[in-house]
Structure 1
């Protein structure tokens, strides 16, 4: 579709991937009146490999300055503003947002320097400075934070931030899109194995059951799996993070209810236990893991895989976080563990654009570790690309940009900290947890 062509709401649209961005895109297109949308995914919803299939994610609200600086300031403000609008006013997503507050902190000189420079906590009136163990403990009910918080300092934002029930929001987007007429095909029939090209364009896809699906527009929203379908010219680095759950009693869940998010940018984070399984999730913070292998063509590539276990080194980091904050829980057995994949672009901006050569193909990838918060709004950006009306500043930031990956440093931590302060390799992991899977 050219930028001067009005949208044809009856045109056929294929979306590859029914995760966070695939469901968001399907929902936004259906709300705009598109009537012929098919979403393909290898897994039943919620997919076990979708980053959105999780009990909680951090969300921070934001307002929008009508006259922001050009460039990155506009992009970051617009993203935060529209995501916030969705969490606070869209009936599909509102039930899953918990405005509990947000503590962001660090504990080493370098981490504190990065924290104050990046978050500018000393310049934000809505952040209260925390610099003693007593100050941290006072943010939550007595008996929750009992640790010594060695060297920890940071800011506490009491409102305008919190967490969301991620799986609930993902499934709500799926169900609403389905109610509006979107067709979802999963399993072998939805497992896309290749793009079908004809006359220099993409005309559809082939799935594992041998079915050909043709469409006027194909959208890749396959996250870290996208490089297996299309040469991304080095623009995506599939990168994974690690998480663990511990079981909580009913009494503990009541004590931990409505707690602010606690996030140490060098150590990890936790939110209140989930209401369904009474489990507390803890993530150890680090620059991520890749799974580096040499492909048949001789290229080095990070290949995603699903595993409901984490490296023992990640378990040690999770327990160190607990010892610093909640030592009463630090030896409790894990009830669930998982690696969670995302895909980093070189500049951590999203990649939402038409392919420059395959004009009927749209990319909606590159969540870069902050994609889920935007489930409320990211599908709108994809729809704007489809209709040729994406804001010019967002279009520049989200463009197909292989030039940014020339000579890419695959070990770049991209301003992330924690663990060994380097990107790790699953190929070097010696031992994994042995949690009973469910």
Structure 2
């Protein structure tokens, strides 16, 4: 049954997926949309609140149905970054390097054919190949055992925070109401009535009733609904190094460099002149064992990273840009995603609570895409989530993104899900004893 455009709709979460959902609801003409978030937008705990995220159309090897479904979403996302005036200013078509060191990881790259005759793909097999990708002295490392390829065009990065803020501003302009901060915007529970979800309750006691409720709370969603082990909040680590004014121009325009065993980094952002570096690994959990024997990973906010992560970041720099390897960090934080057992999204109408629409499972990569970030779908993911409410998701896509607790039966909580790097195992913050200390005012910013 069609949903009236004026009935109250509630979106829980104002991160990447919640903001995209709010935007697409407004663009489709829904006039009574409220978004709740415990943090001022853009949320400091949102993975999308970042200076840059990888944008790429590259897909890994997979089945035919997954390939077709993935290409559908990718086309919409790329169209948003390249043609939608709202998002186009934040996309930087710098190119993207994908590399690995071990033979097993190179096999995981998934592109072994098609290099010959494809002018957009350039094979990189020697240190000199990597060093020539930037001005003399920038990529001056030895790149030991690095092999991979450069995607010349159709890949790069987006200024994530600015794009997220643009989506929020446009949704607000179109009439969406954002209620943020604690306690007004912090949801403490869903409102269950007659085996359905009729809204949510905020920490200040306000009851927000809605015809449909969209749960887009990222890694925090597991605290509001029993996902039956389908979500495992998993965190990654990032650090910034601020360049001196006189050296920033040398680093501008370098492609994104991503070694799936070591980590990745970007050209400096123009606002602060910072280079963001991420060490690659299968992720961290924050595991809590309940009395009934169940296991959960509880997300938390922290503008520090483990010392072991700092060492991995500096190791990556020693191999690629050794001149920066000992520079102090200007910023660092942990960044949460919500791993599903197959690393696919969960975008569906809940089968037991039909007024609850799920926009969850941003598992670092959906549809088994090679890039670790799901942020690339900011322009389009809300369109699919609204399709779930309107029962318009194509069957081939629904089969992949449906609510599927059987897929999580006897789930291995330590499954690396095909990721490499670091100790090649899922780590746990409960075992971390030493954290970085970021000096100065930069560490205090949101």
Interval of TM-score (by shorter of Structure 1 and Structure 2):
over 0.9
For structure 1, the 5+ residue unaligned runs are: none
1:57: which partner in 2?
Answer: 53
The Cα of 1:251 is off from its aligned counterpart by 2.1
For structure 2, the 5+ residue unaligned runs are: 365-372
The Cα of 1:109 is off from its aligned counterpart by 2.1
**Deviation sequence 1:307-340 (CA, Å, 0-9, x none):** 0000000000000000000000000011110000
TM-score by length of 1: 0.95
1:300: which partner in 2?
Answer: 295
Which one of the candidate residues 405, 409, 433 is aligned to 2:408? Answer: 405
Do the aligned residues in 2 keep the contact of 1:62 with 1:84 (CA within 8 Å)? no
The 5 Å alignment of 1:290-369 reads: 290-295=285-290, 297-369=292-364
1:13 is the counterpart of 2:16:
no
1:255: which partner in 2?
Answer: 250
Detail structure 1 runs of 4+ shifted over 6 Å in the superposition. none
Paired with 1:203 and 1:128, the residues of 2 have a C-alpha distance of 53
1:34: which partner in 2?
Answer: 30
| CA 296–90 in structure 1, closer or farther in 2 if over 3 Å, else same | farther
| SS of aligned partner of 1:189 | coil
| CA 358–281 in structure 1, closer or farther in 2 if over 3 Å, else same | same
Which one of the candidate residues 9, 22, 42 is aligned to 1:46? Answer: 42
| CA 294–120 in structure 1, closer or farther in 2 if over 3 Å, else same | farther
* Root-mean-square deviation (Å): 1.5
2:194: which partner in 1?
Answer: 199
**Deviation sequence 1:273-320 (CA, Å, 0-9, x none):** 111111110000111000001235442110000000000000000000
1:74: which partner in 2?
Answer: 68
The Cα of 1:198 is off from its aligned counterpart by 0.9
| SS of aligned partner of 2:378 | helix
**Deviation sequence 1:17-44 (CA, Å, 0-9, x none):** 0000000000001000000000000000
| CA 13–123 in structure 1, closer or farther in 2 if over 3 Å, else same | farther
| CA 120–353 in structure 1, closer or farther in 2 if over 3 Å, else same | farther
TM-score by length of 2: 0.94
Do the aligned residues in 2 keep the contact of 1:36 with 1:182 (CA within 8 Å)? yes
1:23: which partner in 2?
Answer: 19
The 5 Å alignment of 1:152-171 reads: 152-171=146-165
Which one of the candidate residues 81, 91, 97 is aligned to 1:87? Answer: 81
The Cα of 1:205 is off from its aligned counterpart by 0.7
Do the aligned residues in 2 keep the contact of 1:39 with 1:185 (CA within 8 Å)? yes
The Cα of 1:62 is off from its aligned counterpart by 6.5
Paired with 2:342 and 2:146, the residues of 1 have a C-alpha distance of 29
2:367: which partner in 1?
Answer: none
